[in-house]
């Protein structure tokens, strides 16, 4: 009965129930102008498109800061893409541009370009460069949720910091509060060690990335695909953890409230990381068709992120290395009705960062196996795995 009472009571009233009735209205359109403009005769392809999204946040204060009513976020975007085949189809160039605008942020134009070079039949080399733009998610912007341990998840928009009076009751960096606490334990409390968290303008994340890859088929039996990428992010969307006393300071002794778990609040606030954040990675895959309907495939991926400034959380949550291997047969036995598949997966250990908890994730290994049988008379396939 107690569980049902808690589960059925909204968070805003001390329970654990989300009342999220948010909705998303989407419009998207695309049109190919190639034939209308007679560009197909010259190997040219021209696309245009536009989109519109409206987020209507309605959680009745259980997830978002919407106790006063629904919050609307509008996004619009438009793009154009031009492709051109050259040198007897040996080279294909593609350029595009896109403009996006969010009602809470300034608009931004982002260009992209790619080239595919045909080295030989079924052997292609590809290059691409792009600038990208990512608006903060609805939770990045407007979340206002108190979770366990006295921690509040908070959006990065300045309206929320104003609501919690960060101007008159500052929030301090966690390392500086820890240093102040250590000085107090040593018998010489030093409030000068405290550092207020500085919040700049909350912005969309921008990135520049470059990728190079090769894809080729050997004797119609082996398919190889390899790639590498490098990316640099500016205003990387992450989170920063800070501590604020629950009551505004009234005198020098008020700073000690920061050391009392019952008199302080820890905030995890969406914020832009200072400086540039770099990521890179590569991958390789192979598919090998063997006699009698057997096949083997495997891939190896590597991804990593550079260091973030102290106090920021990336939520990258990607193992440095991942491996997948599969051995299959899609037809053997009488009338090739039987089949099977065995898949092996391995992931490297990594540190997981989440809003509700963080911790070391161990390396994992899994094996999946499946057998199948075809029923031609009913055009059916039975699988057991």
* 240-251: average pLDDT: 93
Cα-based distances in Å from 224 to 216, 298, 302, 322: 5, 10, 17, 17
* 305-330: average pLDDT: 90
Question: How far apart are the C-alpha atoms of 153 and 272, rounded to whole Å?
Answer: 15
Q: Helix (H) and strand (E) counts for the chain? A: 4, 22
Query: For the segment 36-80, what is each residue's pLDDT rounded down to a tens digit?
Result: 999 988 999 999 999 999 999 999 999 999 988 999 999 999 999
Stated pTM of the model: 0.83
Query: For the segment 175-219, what is each residue's pLDDT rounded down to a tens digit?
Result: 999 999 999 999 999 999 999 999 999 999 999 999 999 999 999
Encoded tokens for 156 = 């990065």
Amino acid 190: pLDDT: 96
- What is the CA 65 to chain-centroid distance, rounded? 23
Cβ neighbours for 311, distance < 8 A, ≥ 6 positions apart? 173, 174, 175, 197, 240, 241
Pick from 128, 131, 237, 256: nearest CA to 191: 256
* 241-270: average pLDDT: 94
Tracing tokens 């419009």 back to the chain, one arrives at 27
Encoded tokens for 367 = 């094996």
Task: Give 240's pLDDT tier (boundaries 50, 70, 90).
Answer: very high
């Amino acid at each position: 009965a107690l569980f049902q009472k808690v589960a059925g009571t909204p968070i805003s009233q001390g329970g654990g129930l989300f009342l999220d009735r948010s909705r998303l209205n989407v419009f998207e359109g695309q049109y190919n102008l190639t034939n209308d403009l007679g560009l197909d005769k010259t190997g040219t392809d021209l696309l245009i498109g536009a989109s519109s999204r409206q987020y209507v946040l309605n959680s009745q204060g259980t997830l978002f800061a919407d106790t006063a009513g629904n919050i609307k976020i509008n996004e619009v975007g438009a793009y154009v893409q031009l492709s051109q085949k050259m040198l007897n189809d040996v080279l294909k160039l593609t350029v595009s541009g896109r403009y996006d605008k969010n009602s809470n942020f300034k608009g931004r134009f982002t260009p992209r370009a790619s080239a595919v070079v045909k080295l030989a039949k079924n052997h292609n080399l590809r290059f691409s460069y792009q600038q990208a733009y990512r608006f903060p998610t609805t939770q990045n912007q407007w979340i206002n949720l108190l979770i366990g341990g006295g921690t509040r998840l908070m959006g990065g928009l300045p309206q929320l910091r104003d609501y919690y009076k960060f101007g008159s009751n500052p929030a301090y960096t966690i390392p500086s509060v820890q240093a102040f606490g250590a000085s107090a334990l040593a018998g010489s409390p030093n409030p000068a060690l405290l550092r207020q968290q500085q919040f700049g303008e909350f912005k969309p994340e921008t990135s520049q990335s470059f990728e190079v890859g090769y894809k080729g088929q050997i004797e119609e039996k082996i398919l190889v695909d390899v790639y590498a990428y490098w990316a640099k992010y500016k205003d990387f969307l992450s989170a920063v953890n800070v501590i604020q006393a629950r009551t505004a300071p009234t005198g020098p002794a008020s700073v000690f409230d920061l050391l009392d778990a019952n008199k302080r609040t820890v905030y995890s606030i969406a914020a832009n990381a200072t400086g540039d954040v770099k990521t890179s990675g590569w991958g390789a895959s192979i598919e090998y068709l063997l006699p009698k309907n057997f096949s083997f495939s495997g891939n190896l991926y590597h991804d990593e992120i550079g260091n973030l400034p102290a106090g920021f959380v990336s939520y990258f949550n990607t193992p440095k290395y991942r491996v997948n291997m599969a051995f299959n047969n899609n037809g053997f036995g009488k009338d090739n009705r039987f089949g099977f598949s065995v898949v092996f997966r391995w992931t490297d250990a990594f540190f997981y960062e989440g809003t509700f908890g963080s911790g070391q994730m161990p390396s994992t290994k899994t094996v999946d196996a499946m057998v199948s049988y075809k029923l031609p008379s009913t055009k059916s396939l039975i699988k057991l795995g």
